[in-house]
Amino acid sequence: MARDRATAAEPRFADLRTALGVTMEESRIGGVPVLILTPKAIPKGQAGQTVLNFHGGGYVYGSGAAGTYEAALMAAYGGYRVIAVNYRVPPYAPYPAAVDDAEAVWRALIKDGADPATIAVTGTSAGGGLAPAMLLRLKDGGLPQPGALIANTPWADLTGSGDSYRANEWLDNVVVSYNGYLDDAARLYAGAADLADPGVSPLFGDLAGLPPTLLISGTRDLFLSDSVRVQRKLRQAGVVADLQLFEGFSHAQYLFDPVAPETVEMFGEITAFLDAQLGS
């Protein structure tokens, strides 16, 4: 299923990159396959900045070029050089493989001389959960944090304990329900680990010391509670954390149309946040 979905998506994403004027090249960083997306022009103030992006897809879908949709929009609308990490996924590579890959890329970037303050770590859904999970790993290892975190409707609680998992069930017309796909994907990803392990569900970790964070969700998002609870925990820990909500939107629905006003507005919010947080 993952291969079939990727095969179907890649030609559409290639057309999207052409339309947006974004180029893509394959590479490896820290031994991990990555795709580097570059816009036609990078604004002067962002020339030294990098966005590290983790794709969504429930830790099952979105590998390879099929996982670069958000990264392409980030490059086109924000003017950033974006590194999309092609992290390993189950069933062949359950947790902690994805976090290991994310950390390996980070270590390699820093070893090569990148200034952590000029890097933003971003992701949507599963990628929005992987991003803070990786930052918790960095904190435990005494490694520097990035300049900013963008967690778009993060899947930060794989136990499914949030209120919106019930309140928005069948109102969310994208993921619809936690039962029947997400619960199976969660167990598949966690492998032998507990679903409440902070490496799997970063909501349950100590979020103190994480960088300034922007979270984005919608009022009909099944994952809305994850965004709300992550923001509360970050603020309680003294971390700058903003939450942007879109009216009537289901899970990550603002990413479905690259020219919709909400999509353009969303990336405007992200760019403004990163302009305020990242070093030059």
Confidence of residue 243 (pLDDT cuts 50, 70, 90): very high
Is residue 129 over pLDDT 70?
yes
Q: Could you tell me the domains of the chain?
A: 2-277 (3.40.50.1820)
pLDDT in tens, 203-235: 999 999 999 999 999 999 999 999 999 999 999
Which region among 68-72, 141-145, 224-228, 252-256 has the lowest average model confidence (pLDDT)? Answer: 252-256
Q: What is the pLDDT of residue 100?
A: 98
Q: What is the pLDDT of residue 280?
A: 67
Percentage of residues in the chain having pLDDT higher than 90: 88
| Tokens 């790993």 sit on residue | 137
| Tokens 């022009």 sit on residue | 41
Confidence of residue 168 (pLDDT cuts 50, 70, 90): very high
Count of CB atoms situated within 10 Å of the CB of 89: 25
Q: What is the pLDDT of residue 161?
A: 96
Q: What is the arithmetic mean of pLDDT over 188-210?
A: 98
Q: Is 20 helix (H, G, I), strand (E, B) or coil?
A: helix
- Please indicate whether residue 47 or residue 251 has the higher confidence score (pLDDT): 251
- Please indicate whether residue 279 or residue 257 has the higher confidence score (pLDDT): 257
Residue 152, token pair as written in the block? 């778009």
How far apart, in Å, are the Cα atoms of 167 and each of 65, 171, 177, 219, 259?
A: 34, 8, 10, 11, 30
Confidence of residue 273 (pLDDT cuts 50, 70, 90): very high
How far apart are alpha carbons 198 and 190 in whole angstroms? 11
Residue 198, token pair as written in the block? 């902070």
Q: What is the pLDDT of residue 232?
A: 98
Task: Return all residues near 10 (Cβ < 8 A) that are at least 6 apart.
Answer: 64, 65, 66
Mean pLDDT computed over every residue of the chain: 95
Q: Are 26 and 151 in contact (CB under 8 A)?
A: no
Task: Return all residues near 4 (Cβ < 8 A) that are at least 6 apart.
Answer: none
Q: What is the arithmetic mean of pLDDT over 112-122?
A: 97
pLDDT in tens, 2-43: 888 888 888 888 888 999 999 999 999 999 999 999 999 999
CA 180, 186, 187, 189 dihedral sign is: positive
| Tokens 């136990």 sit on residue | 159
Residue 76, token pair as written in the block? 């086109």
Specify burial of residue 238 (Cβ count, 10 A radius: 0-12, 13-18, 19+).
exposed
Q: Is there a cis peptide before residue 116, judged by omega within 30 degrees of 0? A: no
Q: What is the pLDDT of residue 187?
A: 97
